[in-house]
């Protein structure tokens, strides 16, 4: 059995996100699960650039506009791809967006 590598709790939550990268432009996708450190997006992973690439994402559907997040592609699965949120100093990661969604 594979050992768990995550240091924060994942929550199964469906929310809309808009993702951006020069290789595919702009797409709206759904999450499968999220944590403060990362998320899994349900999408056709073939549209994505290679693992390790940084793309930008923004949580949609909250009461206030959310800032863009830098997200590193860390794994591919048949259902989509996993991303690590690249936090800058003082950046709340996904925590403020999750609070706005009631998670």
**pLDDT (tens digit, 9 = 90+) per residue, 67-98?**
888 999 999 999 999 999 987 655 555 655 55
**pLDDT (tens digit, 9 = 90+) per residue, 5-59?**
555 677 888 889 999 999 999 999 999 998 878 899 999 989 999 999 999 999 8
Map tokens 């800058």 to a residue.
Answer: 88
* Model pLDDT, residue 88: 61
What pTM was estimated for this model as a whole? Answer: 0.80
| Token couple for 99 | 């609070």
Which residues pair with residue 40 across a beta bridge?
33, 82
Cα torsion 60, 14, 91, 102: sign: positive
Q: Is the pLDDT confidence value at 1 over 50?
A: no
Instruction: Give the Cα separation of 32 and 79 in Å (integer).
Output: 9
Which residues pair with residue 83 across a beta bridge?
39, 73
């Amino acid at each position: 059995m594979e050992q768990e590598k995550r240091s924060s709790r994942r929550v199964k939550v469906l929310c809309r996100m808009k993702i951006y990268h020069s290789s595919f432009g702009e797409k709206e996708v759904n999450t499968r699960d999220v944590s403060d450190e990362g998320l899994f997006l349900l999408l056709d992973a073939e549209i994505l650039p290679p693992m390790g690439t940084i793309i930008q994402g923004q949580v949609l559907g909250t009461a206030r506009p959310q800032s863009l997040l830098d997200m590193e592609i860390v794994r591919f699965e048949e259902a989509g791809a996993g991303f690590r949120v690249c936090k800058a100093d003082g950046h709340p990661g996904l925590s403020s967006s999750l609070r706005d969604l009631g998670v």
